[in-house]
Structure 1
Amino acid sequence: MMMKLIGGLLVLFTTSWLGFTLAGHVRERPKQIRQLRAYLALLQTEIEYGTRPLAEACANIAEHEDNEVSALFRASAHQLMKRDGSSTFECFKRAIDQEWRQTALQQAEQDVLLQLCQVLGTSDRHDQVHHLTMACNHLELEEKRARDEQDRSEKMYKTMGVLSGALLVILMI
């Protein structure tokens, strides 16, 4: 009997933890999109008014905070500083591939970032600033969608985690 009780509590704890983890992921996405937009705005300012190379600008942006999104810029700066003959896009792509799983961001945000990276370092300042503005606008729409998804899904994930655990415990008994 004691083993069933411990097993039931373990199942309930595990499913609840899974539900709360998924809810946290949904909650983090709008926040990280907002951070990404802020970092892109800083990059836009660096490109428009600054004289630093792109690698230094990315490194400077990454120093503002230590979070999952700033790690994208840190990895990008590292890739750009390698100077291994790779294009700017290839450096950003490797950094995104390396760090993306650590974020709560989804494919839509990755697509926006990759489209932007195709322009960075390959066109004049005006064109890069224009593309940065477009990327920020697109990310603003994605942030609204992410907030809507958060409103719909966060509580559901928590509830489903606890209730599925309770159902499994009841079925076990």
Structure 2
Amino acid sequence: MRLNLGCGSDRRDGWLNVDSQAACEPDAVVDLETLPWPWPDNAAAEVAMRHVLEHLGAETSVYLGIIKELYRVMKPDATATITVPHPRHDHYLNDPTHVRPITPQGLEMFSKSRNLKWRASGNPATPLGLYLDVDFEIQSVNVLPDEPWRSRFQKKEINGNQLAEAARLYNNVIMETTIVLRAIKTGDA
């Protein structure tokens, strides 16, 4: 099964299109903040969440529950493609339904291997993978710059390091980020 969670109007053929709003005409109307989700363990070979996760889990316990459910329903080595607005872009800041910034660094906290490295080095980052017994590895991170940064980057007027520095210093440099997570499961998973 391939889950398109929070599909909105982005209905995909060959996917189970899920949204909390019946007006979107999803295949299944499901509130992703109501846990547990209605799918069995290890059911999803692939998950898409496009401009969804930043809307979920205003309460930390709900957000962490969503991460646990995502992990539970994914097959071993399944991928979840998560696209979110950059938290320093007006697209994120202006939408009152956005409740949580989602960053690669925040999702990295759900990696057990990173948690163990942090623990060994004395890094104080919260080892959420170990705490929640979930394990996601980041497979890729891609950003979509906004103009004029995109044109400047494409014309090679600035390089990737300069673009990253601008994104740390200024708002409205990066419009959205896409992070691909892989579920790491062993044993009976």
Give the TM-score taking structure 2 as reference length. Answer: 0.23
Identify, as 1 or 2, the structure richer in helix. 1
Higher RCO by CA contacts (8 Å cutoff, separation 6 or greater): 1
Report which of the two structures shows the higher radius of gyration computed on alpha carbons.
1
Give the TM-score taking structure 1 as reference length. Answer: 0.24
Identify, as 1 or 2, the structure richer in strand. 2
